[in-house]
Amino acid sequence: MEHSSRRLTKPARNFPKFGGIFDVSSKKQRLQDIEDTILADPEFWNKPKESGVLLKEKKALETLLGSAQKLATLKDDTSAALELAGEGSDFMSEAIDLLSEFEKLLSDLEVQSLLSGDLDANDAILTFNAGAGGTESCDWCSMLMRMYLRYCERKGWQTEIIDIQDGDEAGIKSATIQVSGAMAFGLLKAESGVHRLVRISPFDSNARRHTSFASVFATAMIDETVEIDLNPADLKIDTYRASGAGGQHVNRTDSAVRITHIPTGVIAACQNQRSQHQNKDAAMKVLRARLFEREMEKRREKQREVEAAKSDIAFGSQIRSYVLHPYKLVKDHRTDFESFQPDEVLDGDIDLFIKHTLVAKIQKA
């Protein structure tokens, strides 16, 4: 939106104060403390573990403070445009556009304010698995992966497909993607569960209605400062030829790697890198994250048993339904939030679903 040519300088009026909500002053102080630490420690760059954690926090703080500054500027500009519009000028259209942008950014920051978990700021691993139903479920699984890739694109996050297994006829049987961005795990964790699709099947010559299921699971990426005890003797490492698109290199060499943690049966695989060594490193990162999540699940066992009666994550107890026929509706069964625009939702517009889920979890806590 271009409005810099007509700078609005009138003071803001009748807008809520948001500085306290996002605690801007303390975040500025924390950012200054980090910058002082970097400057004061000549060995800072020689400590990859410690420096990596601080640099990640620094980037997150800079992003949030930048958003807060943008929000303040939009608030002032919108207020000024509304006053000018009230005086009979032609600023009404600009005021409406500014107000819309202000509300969207404010909503995004409000969602971030709901995230307070230790791992919420971390990058995430998203795992997709097709349910029973053959080609139908595989196609639905690929649609879900596209939806989340589009969502990540809207957020400005980076994504990387770590592993993917194509369906026999169409779609995908499973996939694993890494998502890097501010509060990626905190937001995506709300999407873990079974997703249900109802539509007229494009694979049915009789044009009958089909129901398909696919699951999504979010895991937090963990940094090197988190200790995961991995005994090399407990690891089974297999190499195989990568499948699917990827160029001549991956089709000619057994560069893909699958690592199995024998005591738990947890498996991680990677096939998108150019060398076996790189695939092994990437697979180990995924394995560490999944083992960490497994341990966290054990610690939450009692709470999980209580919640199991409410929403067991298994096929037949979906968290969300996407109905394309005989009517159009997307409904989240945890919050009852609905959208009558499934095409937009499947194109990555899922912010409101995530927001309602996070709010509901806080209210239940």
> For 100, phi and psi rounded to 5 degrees?
-65, -45
Q: What is the pLDDT of residues 222-243, one digit of tens each?
A: 866 666 778 889 999 999 887 6
Decide: residue 301, CB within 10 A, 0-12 exposed, 13-18 middle, 19+ buried: exposed
Q: Work out the average pLDDT over 260-279.
A: 91
Q: What is the mean pLDDT of the chain?
A: 83
**Cis? peptide before 16, omega within 30° of 0:** no
SS3 5: coil
Please tell me if the domain spanning 19-113 has the same topology as the one spanning 124-225+312-364: no
Q: Which of 32-41, 155-164, 268-277, 309-318 has the lowest mean pLDDT?
A: 309-318
- Domain residue spans in the chain? 19-113, 124-225+312-364, 232-299
What type of residue sits at position 149?
L
Task: At 300, list the tokens.
Answer: 């939450």
- Give the CATH number of domain 232-299; options: 3.30.70.360, 3.30.160.20, 1.20.1050.140, 3.20.20.70: 3.30.160.20
What is the value of pTM for the model shown?
A: 0.73
Please provide the CATH number assigned to the domain covering 19-113: 1.20.58.410
Q: Per-residue pLDDT for 22 more than 80?
A: no
Q: Work out the average pLDDT over 251-262.
A: 81
Q: What is the pLDDT of residues 52-96, one digit of tens each?
A: 778 878 887 888 888 889 989 998 998 888 888 877 667 788 888
Question: 124-225+312-364, what's its fold?
Answer: Alpha-Beta Plaits (3.30.70)
Classify residue 36 by its DSSP letter: H
Give me the helices (H) in 87-155, please. 92-113, 135-155
Angle at 286 between CA 283 and CA 287, to 5 degrees: 85
Task: At 101, list the tokens.
Answer: 């942008």
Question: What is the CB-side half-sphere exposure of residue 72 using CA atoms within 13 A?
Answer: 12
> Rounded CA gap, 207 and 223, in Å?
49
